[in-house]
Each structure stands twice: as C-alpha cells, then as structure tokens.
Amino acid sequence: MKKQIKTASKAAVEEIDGAAATGDVAKAEEAARSVSSYRNAARAQAQERLLPGGRALSRTLEKERDFAQLAERYAVEGNPIETYREVARAAGRSNRVISSLGRFGRVAGPIGLAVGVGVAAFEVATAPPERKLATAAGAVGAFAGGALGFSLGTAAATVLLGTALVATGPVGWLALGAVLATGAVAGYFGSELGRAVFSGDF
C-alpha cells in the first residue's frame, strides 16, 4: 500500500509539473486534491487490517489529512501551483514514527516468533509425558493471550495518551514509550492468563 501511495504521489507531482508549464492552477489543484483523497482512503483501508492496538496507534499518529489544512501548511506565498505540488509530495510521505515502528516490527516480529516457537518446543520436549499435551496447549494460549494483551494494552494507552502522542520532541517520544510499555505489560499478563487457561491450570 505504501508503494502505491508513493507512486500516486509521484504521478500527481508530474501532472502538476505539466499544469505549471501552462499556468493551469485548476488542474494543479485537482491533481493535488485527488492524490490527497487517495492517500486518506488507502491509509484508512490499511488501518482496518491492523489489530486494535496498531489501528489505534496508526489512527492517532496518521490522521486523515484535510486538504484545506494541507494547503495552508504547505502554502508557498504567491504561488498556488507550487503549494499544490508540495501537497502532492506530502501525500507520498509517511509519518516517521509509524515508518520506524513498521521497520522494527518487520525485523523483531519474525525473531520474536522464532524465539517463542523455540521456547515452546523446548517446554513440550522437557515436560513429563502426562503433561505434554497440556504444555503444548498452554504454549498456544500464551502466544494468543500475549498478542491479544499487547494489542488491547496498546490500544487503551493510545486512547489515554492520544494528545501527548502527537506532540513533538521528548513529550511525544515519552508518550510512545509509555504506550509500548503498557502493551508489553498487558502482553505479559495476557500470555500468562492464556497459558493457564489453555493448559487447564486456571
């Protein structure tokens, strides 16, 4: 989805470059509006596929971009076409925090999964014969409970710290750290609860 948005942004900029050659302000505005709307729709569609925690965090950090606000933010005094060009360029840029978290998740996710599977396999292998099935079930419950706990904890913290999350500087980073820490704690307790319930020890 990110690649498609960048491609659409580039195409809009090229269209605006053509409009600039003929001084067609209306065409430049139309191209900027179109790619901005496409970006909002694409982001909303992508967010719907996320778990509750990721969806809440993404919606807070990457809110729908109102065209009038964008035009004001990227305004180039006395040059509306250049303003629309900057709006079109901005449509292809992602929130840096979201991009960083995405890159981290793509690396840490598979590593975490591999470690979890390895630990679960070891636990099942070393469990007494009569406990192997319960241990295996507990491992599945721990994984499911941990994922759910992290997601719900992150979502709840995002709602509580929404205003601080969009702040710039240390305040925003501290809020983000608090959200992730809350998710981690909730994930731990969710994991332990899931293990107990699935293994029959609850």
The predicted pLDDT at position 202 comes to: 62
3-state secondary structure the chain: CHHHHHHHHHHHHHHHHHHHHHCCHHHHHHHHHHHHHHHHHHHHHHHHCCCHHHHHHHHHHCCCCCHHHHHHHCCCCCCHHHHHHHHHHHHCCCCHHHHHHHHHHHHHHHHHHHHHHHHHHHHHHHCCHHHHHHHHHHHHHHHHHHHHHHHHHHHHHHHHCHHHHCCCCHHHHHHHHHHHHHHHHHHHHHHHHHHHHHHCCC
Share of the chain above pLDDT 90, in %: 23
The reply to whether 41 and 103 lie within a common domain is no
Do 195 and 105 have their domain in common? yes
Domain that holds residue 17: 2-91
Of the three residues 91, 121, 146, the one that is the final residue of a domain is 91
Please write the tens of the pLDDT for every residue from 65-119: 789 888 998 999 999 999 999 999 988 887 666 666 666 666 666 777 777 788 7
pTM of the predicted protein model? 0.57
Same domain? For 123 and 83 the reply is no
More confident residue, 65 or 42: 42
User: Does the structure show a pLDDT above 90 at 55?
Assistant: no
